Amino acid sequence: KKTFFSGLTAMEKKLAEYKCNTNEAIQLKLVRFPEDLEDENTTFNPEYSHQVFGDDEVAFGYKGLKILLYYIAGNLSTLFRIEYTSRVNDKFDCVEADDVESKIREIIPPGFCTNTDDFVSLLEKEVNFKPFGMLLHTYSIHNEEAGEDITYQIYKADMTCPGFREYHERLQTFLMWFIETASFIDVDDERWNYFLVFEKYNKDGATLFATVGYMTVYNYYVYPDKTRPRV
């Protein structure tokens, strides 16, 4: 008995080495320049990952797991790749690694890049990206770190804007990482409005737009003949 339990404990310790905190493993970027890909300062992590990886926010079966989700800052074209130093299947017959790729694929739309070269070639076309919908408001805020004023613009969009449906599918993935009980909305319901915030920035003498954030507003029916928008 003693040998069995001490052996089990040793096995458990070994298996524990293959548990990764998914909030740390998921590495997000909003890429503006090619050098951002190698710059750790442009990486950020989720607040939450329990909706994808369970309440413990753990992925089992890997050492040194990195789940790379890099987005081009404007149109949010995506690079998705998984990296790790070792995987449990290589050494143990009795356990199986979590299918991390399938879990991520459930929330990101198809059509993502899997290698950096393809992603960088899309980044070169980013100069053509323009915000969706109607410009509502422009404002500037002084950024101490940059030592200059940063200009932001708020747009109102809907699903009739060409390309917006596909863009929104990429955009909504951020909900899973930053809103604790988020769910994807029914975009075919025409009562949804979308408000988007973009930051203007300069690249090689051109003005480009980076996605900063968004909110969805639903127009509820109010008796007898009105609607009331609700965030």
Task: Tokens 């300069």: give the residue.
Answer: 202
223 and 112, same domain (yes or no)? no
Is 56 in the same domain as 95? yes
How many domains does the structure of the chain reveal? Answer: 2
Q: Is the pLDDT of residue 151 over 50?
A: yes
Q: Are residues 102 and 160 in the same domain?
A: no
**73 closest CA partner among 106, 122, 107, 110:** 122
Q: What is the CATH number of the domain that holds 22?
A: 3.90.360.10
Residue that finishes a domain, picked among 78, 103, 124? 124
Q: Which amino acid is at 222?
A: V
Sheet of 226-230: strands edge to edge? 134-143, 148-157, 192-203, 206-222, 226-230
Q: What SS3 string covers 210-221?
A: EEEEEEEEEEEE
Model pLDDT, residue 1? 45
Asked if the peptide bond before residue 224 counts as cis, ω within 30 degrees of 0, the response is: yes
Give the model confidence (pLDDT) of 77-109 as tens digits.
Answer: 999 999 999 998 756 667 889 999 999 999 999
The boundaries of the domain holding residue 219 are 128-230
Kind of pairing between the strands at 26-31 and 66-72: parallel
* pLDDT at residue number 99: 96
Q: Both 72 and 140 in a single domain?
A: no
Mean pLDDT check: name the lowest of 69-73, 109-113, 198-202, 224-228: 224-228
Report the predicted TM-score, pTM, of the whole model to 2 decimal places: 0.90
pLDDT confidence bin for 22, thresholds 50/70/90: very high
**One domain for residues 144 and 98:** no
pLDDT (average), residues 147-174: 96
Secondary structure (3-state) at 116? helix
Gap between the Cα atoms of 1 and 10, Å rounded? 14
R_g (Cα) of the chain, nearest Å: 22
Are residues 134 and 118 part of one domain? no
Same domain, yes or no: 11 and 120: yes
Report, as an integer, the average pLDDT of 23-52. 97
